[in-house]
Structure 1
Amino acid sequence: MSLQQKALLLLKKQGDFEVGYRSIPSPGAGQLLVKIQSAALNPIDYKIKDTGLSVSHYPAVLGVDIAGIVVEVGKGVKNFRKGDQVLAHGVRTFSNDMAAFQQYSLTVADFTAKIPSSESFDSAATVPLGLDTAVMGLYGQEVGAGITPPWVKSVSSHVSKKPIVILGGSSSVGSYTIQLARLSGFYPIITTASPSNEDLVRDYGATHFFDRHLSGDQLKAAISEVTDRPIKIVYDAVSLPETQSAGWGLLTTNGVLVLTLPASVKEDAGKGRKAIQTFGNPHAPQNHELGSSCWAMVTKWLSEGTIQAGSAITPNKYEVLPDGLEGIIEGLERMKMGQVSGMKLVARPQETQ
C-alpha cells in the first residue's frame, strides 16, 4: 500500500477545496483502517466550509459518512477483520485521520458495522449521520427526548400508541426518525413533506401525511382530526424558524421539541415545554453509550430491512457524483443552493483522478 492517499483538503477557514495528498494513518487500539469506497455528503459539510465551525487546524478534511473495506485492524478489536465491508460514523472534529472525504480513514470499532450482502457501499454510506441524529434526538438523555430505545427493552408500556409528529419526513434525518418511531411503537406517526414525497414517507412507516406548506395553524387543525391525544414529542428535522414555530404550537404541557439547529423558539416556564437541539455525534462522551448500543444493531437492522438504507431508486434515494473527491465540491454547492431534495449525494473517493 502507498504511504500517501488523495484527500479533499479545505485549505483555510472559509477557503477553497483542493484535492491533494496526505499520509495514510495507522489504526490505534479499538480502531480500524478503512479503504473508503463511498462517502456521503451532509449539509453540515458546506456549513463548516462557509463558517469554519468545529475546525481549528488547516488544511482540513471534512465528511463523516463512510463505507468501505477494512484493510488493517487495531489492537483489541475482535469483531472485525481485514476484508470486511463496513459502514462507519467518522468524526472530523478529533482528527483529519477520521474524516470521510479521502481514500483511507480510521474508524472507531464501536461506531462501525458490517454491511450486509443486500446493501452496496453507496447505500450504506447514506446511513451513519442521519441514523445517529435520529437516535440521539429520540433517545438521548441530554440531547434528545430521552425515551427508552426499543432495543433496550419492550416499549409496550412506554410510548406505544402515543402520537409523534416528525417535520421534514423525507429528509435523511426525518426518514430515520420515522423508522425509529415505528420501532418504538408510536401511533399515529404524523409527518410533513412535499406532496411528491408522500409515498416515500409512508414507505418509511408514517401513518399520516400532511403537506409541508401548511401553516402552523393549518397543520394543528389537520392533526386534531387525526388524534385527540396530547403530543409530547415533535421532531423537527428541518428546524427553520417557521417549522420550529409550527412544532412548538403542537406540543402539550411538558412536551419536547427536538431540533437539528439552534432553537429560535423561547421556552415557557409555565407550560414546561422544552426545545432541545440534538447532536448526532456518537463519539461525544454523552452519546457514547447510546451510540455504541445502537451501532451493535445496525447490521441486523439493515439485513432484515428494519431500517432502510439509501437506494438509487427509492426509498432514501441517492445520487453518485462523478469524478471521485472532485465531485464533492459541486455537490456541496448544489446542497447549499437548495438544489438537492429527498436524496443523498455520494462520492467514490477511489475514482479520483
Structure 2
Amino acid sequence: MSPQQKALLLPKKQGNFEIGSRSIPSPGAGALLVKIHSAALNPVDYKIKDLGFFVTDYPAVLGSDIAGIVEEVGEGVDNFRKGDRILAHGKFSNDFAAFQQYTLTDARFTAKASYEKIPSSESFDSAATVPLGLDTALVGLHGNHFGAGLTPPWTKSVGESKKPIVVIGGSSSVGLYAIQLARLSGFYPIITTASPSNEELVRKYGATHFFDRNLSGKEVKAAISKITDSAIGIVYDAISLPETQSVAWELLANDGTLVLTLPASVKEDEGKGRKVISTFAGPHDPQNEELCSSSWAVVEKWLSEGTIQPNKYEVLPNGLEGIIGGLERMKLGQVSGTKLVAHPQETQ
C-alpha cells in the first residue's frame, strides 16, 4: 500500500469539508513531489464548495497556492532538486491541489522560494500568497485570450507610458498584484479603489492615486478627471461584483478594455468598441501555458529582488482544519487586505 497523507476533502458536490486520508502521489515526467508547508486560501475555494463548478470528481481536494520543499523530482526536470524550497500554482486535480500534506506540481509553474529578504520561517507563508493572485493579475493584463493582451513587462525595457490604469479593489490579493504589474508595465497614474483603511497598503504596493470604494462611478470619474486628461483604456476589476463592474464600466474609454475576475454583468456596447474580458488564470490551460511558463521563469528573480512583493498574510491554526473556518470568514467578507494561510503539516 502506498504511503498515506492527511487531506482536506470535499466528499461530494456542494458537500461539507472533512479531514481524511489519501495516497501520496508519485511525480511523472515534468513534475515534482512537494511536501506542503504553507497553502493559501482563495475565494474560488469556497465558491467551488458552494456552487459546485470546476470540479467533477469527488472526493475532491481543492487549493491552488502551494509553498513547500521538493521531496522527489520527476523525469526530465533538471532545474529543481530534492530539498529546494518552492512555490507553485496548483490545479483542480487532486494530485496537484494545495489542501493536503503532499502534492505534485508542474515544474513549469514552480519557482524557487529561497529569497533573502524574508526570514526562512516566514518565507513559505509569504510565498504561498503569490501563485494564483499573481497569475490572475498577469493573465488579465497580458493574456491574449483571457486578458487585455498587453506586452509582458519581462519582454522589453519599460519606460513610463503616461497611460492611466484603474484597478478596482486594489487591496485584494489580485488587486495588489495588478497594481505591481501595472507599475512594471510603465502605467501612470495607477488609480485604485479600496476601503479607506487600506489606502496606505495600496500606496505601498504602487498605487499613485486612491479613492474610496464606496464612491459612485460618476464621483470616481469626476475625481479622475482632475488627475489626468487621458482616457482610461484599461480597468482591472479585481472584485467584479455587479456594483463594481458598473463603476468600472462608467470609467472606461469607448475603445477600452474591462478585465474581470468573475462573469460579466455589464454588456459590451454594440459598435462602441468597449470590450469585457473575464479572465481565467489557470497556467495549465493551453491558452495560458506560454505566457505563464515565461512569467514563472522570472518569479524567483522578481521575489528575490523585491520587484514583486507578496501579500500580507495571517496564519490559520489547526492545520488543514483551519481552512474550513478561514473560507467561511472570507465568504462573510471578514478578511481585508490579508491572505489567509494554513500549515498542512500541523494537522492533528
Answer yes or no: is the 8 Å Cα contact 1:148–1:155 preserved in 2.
no
TM-superposed CA distance for 1:118, in Å, is: 2.9
Distance 2:89 2:129 in 1: 10
Q: Distance in 1 between matches of 2:335 and 2:323?
A: 13
Aligned partner of 2:341 in structure 1 is 346
In structure 1, the partner of 2:76 is: 76
Aligned to 1:330: 325
Q: 1:46 is matched with which residue?
A: 46
1:226-271 deviation per Cα after TM superposition (whole angstroms, max 9, x unaligned) = 0010110000001111111111111112100000000000111221
Amino acid at match of 1:101: F
Once the two structures are superposed, the pairs formed by residues 27-42 of structure 1 within 5 Å of their partners are: 27-42=27-42
User: Is 1:136 aligned with 2:131?
Assistant: no
How many Å separate the matches in 1 of 2:16 and 2:7?
14
Counterpart of 1:47 in structure 2: which amino acid? K
Q: How far did 1:2 drift? A: 7.2
Report the CA distance between 1:205 and its aligned residue: 0.6
Any idea what SS the aligned residue of 1:331 has? helix
Task: State how far apart, in whole Å, the 1-side matches of 2:301 and 2:318 are.
Answer: 33
Amino acid at match of 2:192: T
Distance 1:118 1:270 in 2: 50
Match of 1:104 in 2: 102
Distance 1:137 1:285 in 2: 15
CA contact (8 A) 1:30 1:109 kept: yes
* 1:185 matched residue in structure 2: 186
The two structures, once aligned, show a CA RMSD in angstroms of 1.1
Kindly provide the amino acid, as one letter, of the partner of residue 323 in structure 1.
N
Q: Distance in 1 between matches of 2:340 and 2:64?
A: 13
Cα deviation, 1:116-142, whole Å, max 9, x if unaligned, reads: 233410000000000000000000001
Partner residue in 2 for 1:317? 312
Deviations 1:13-62 (A, max 9, x none): 11111111100000011100000000000000000001111111110000
Letter in structure 2 aligned against 1:148: T
* Pairing 1:90–2:90 present: yes
Work out the CA distance in 2 between the residues paired with 1:246 and 1:332: 27
Corresponding residue for residue 149 of structure 1: 152
Query: How many residue pairs are counted as aligned between the two chains?
Result: 343
Question: How do residues 202-351 of structure 1 correspond to structure 2 at under 5 angstroms?
Answer: 202-309=203-310, 316-351=311-346
Q: TM-score of the superposition, structure 2-length normalised?
A: 0.97
Instruction: State the SS of the aligned residue for 2:67.
Output: strand
Q: Which amino acid aligns with 2:153?
A: P
Tell me by how many angstroms 1:167 deviates.
0.5
Write the distance in 1 (CA, Å) between the matches of 2:2 and 2:338.
34
Which is further off, 291-300 or 110-119?
110-119
The 5 Å alignment of 1:2-21 reads 3-21=3-21
Give me the whole-angstrom Cα distance separating, in 2, the residues matched to 1:328 and 1:216.
35
Structure 2 residue matching 1:285: 3-state secondary structure? coil
Contact 1:7–1:103 (CA under 8 A) maintained in structure 2: yes
Q: C-alpha distance in 2, partners of 1:211/1:337?
A: 21
Letter of the 1:216 counterpart: G
Aligned to 1:267, the other structure's residue is in SS state: coil
Deviations 1:184-221 (CA, angstroms, capped at 9, x unpaired): 00000000111111110001111111111101100000
Gaps of 5+ in 2: none
Q: TM-score, normalised to structure 1's length?
A: 0.96
